[in-house]
Copies of this chain bind each other. A is one copy, B any other.
Amino acid sequence: MQKDPDIQLELGTPLSERMRRGDLFSEHCPSREVLKHVTSRWGVLILVALLGGMHRFSDLRRKVSGVSEKMLAQTLQCLEYDGFVLRQSYPVVPPHVEYSLTPLGMEVAKKVEDLADWIEGNFPKIMDAQEKFKEINEV
């Protein structure tokens, strides 16, 4: 009987450790927010794109095809806030802004790229599995 049923105590790990790293399995874990930014629809693509080096806003917009200006700006702000992206603006006309990865950002971006690459590389296998599923479940 707990006051807040959301707080899960995992007895295997000491409390201090859980506070320091957060525990993604427990609700309201602050790490979930960061995870959301990183794994968001456009977050993934932007991070991977920036692994290729510095990009201007419009470069990113063209590279990550399908993203709207609004979403690009918003996602970049999240990633900047988390310390993954560095934004350098030069106050000239027309505006000139450069986006790049911070050292911290490089690390996450590599993890994200790993995942993305795996999916791209194994896409044929996945499609096979999907076909089999459809056959079996007569969809």
Chain A residues in the interface with B (C-beta under 8 A):
6, 8, 20-28, 30-31, 34-36, 38-41, 44-45, 48-49, 63-66, 80-83, 102, 104, 107-108, 111-112, 114-116, 118-130, 132-133
Does more than half of chain A's interface fall in helix, strand or loop, or is it mixed?
A: helix
Q: List 27 A-B contacts (CB under 8 A).
A: A20-B124, A21-B123, A23-B120, A24-B45, A24-B119, A24-B120, A25-B45, A25-B63, A26-B65, A27-B65, A30-B127, A31-B120, A31-B123, A35-B116, A35-B119, A38-B119, A39-B39, A39-B44, A80-B133, A81-B129, A83-B128, A83-B130, A83-B133, A102-B129, A104-B126, A107-B122, A108-B115
Residues of B near A115 (CB, < 8 A) are 35, 38-39, 108, 111-112, 114-115
Q: In the complex, what distance in Å separates the CA atom of A112 from the CA atom of B30?
A: 18
Also in contact, A25 and B6, with CB within 8 A (given A114-B111, A115-B108, A123-B31): no
Residues of B near A132 (CB, < 8 A) are 83
How many copies of this kind of chain does the complex include?
Answer: 2
Also in contact, A49 and B25, with CB within 8 A (given A83-B126, A114-B111, A119-B108): yes
Indicate if the CB atoms of A107 and B111 lie closer than 8 Å.
Answer: no
